[in-house]
Amino acid sequence: MPRVVGVLSLQGDFQLHCDAIAACGAEPRQVRMPEDLAGCEGLILPGGESTTLGILLRRHGLDQAIAERCRDGMPAWGTCMGMILMAQRVEGRDQFTLSLLDITIRRNAFGPQVHSFEQEIPVKGFVSPFPAVFIRAPIVTECGPEVESLAEVEGKVVAVRQGRLLGTAFHPELTADRRVHEYFLSLFGG
């Protein structure tokens, strides 16, 4: 029986994550309401616009449902905006987050959309570099003691793990390389 992976589907590039999860042999499930989380063994929070998504999460009651499930041990992975939403702190802003990852985030750390870029980066545990796509990407400026840095660009942390929680500033779903999706599935255990 394949793993069931929820993909937050209120906004952003959720369909590409669904396709990647299916390519890894798991079953993607679009999550739009708290009841959609039932049966999900993990959750991906995709890229998009964090302020808008924060409003939608609260409106639909998903903020509390996601936080509770993650605190109960459900693996979760945030890409770009999703990592911002999972952070405990956002530099220079008082914005809604789920406060799951003990990190401080700086939004748009590499500049506006016109400064988006692709770069091969070393990722801890990967034999070869990963083709990372950065679009208005954040960086992690501070990590708590239980947070492990998995990748950096120019000395800036762009991927972290804290237990069964994963955050990437880049967009693995925009590549054909499924290693980060497979890594996330490995966090499910059993």
For the chain, 190 residues long, the average pLDDT of each consecutive 10-residue run is: 92 92 97 96 91 89 96 96 95 91 94 83 97 95 98 96 98 97 91
Residue pLDDT, tens place only, 127-157 = 999 999 999 999 999 999 999 999 999 999 9
Tokens coding 125 = 């545990």
- Tell whether the torsion through CA atoms of 51, 55, 58 and 61 is positive or negative: negative
By annotation, the residues acting in catalysis are: 80, 171, 173
Burial class (CB in 10 A: 0-12, 13-18, 19+), 122: middle
What pTM was estimated for this model as a whole? 0.95
Q: Which domain holds residue 108?
A: 4-186
Residue 88: CA atoms inside 13 Å, Cβ hemisphere, count?
12
Q: Helix, strand or coil for residue 1?
A: coil
Q: What type of residue sits at position 121? A: I
In the chain, how many domains are there? 1
As given in the structure block, the two tokens for residue 82 are 């999703």
CATH of the domain at 84: 3.40.50.880
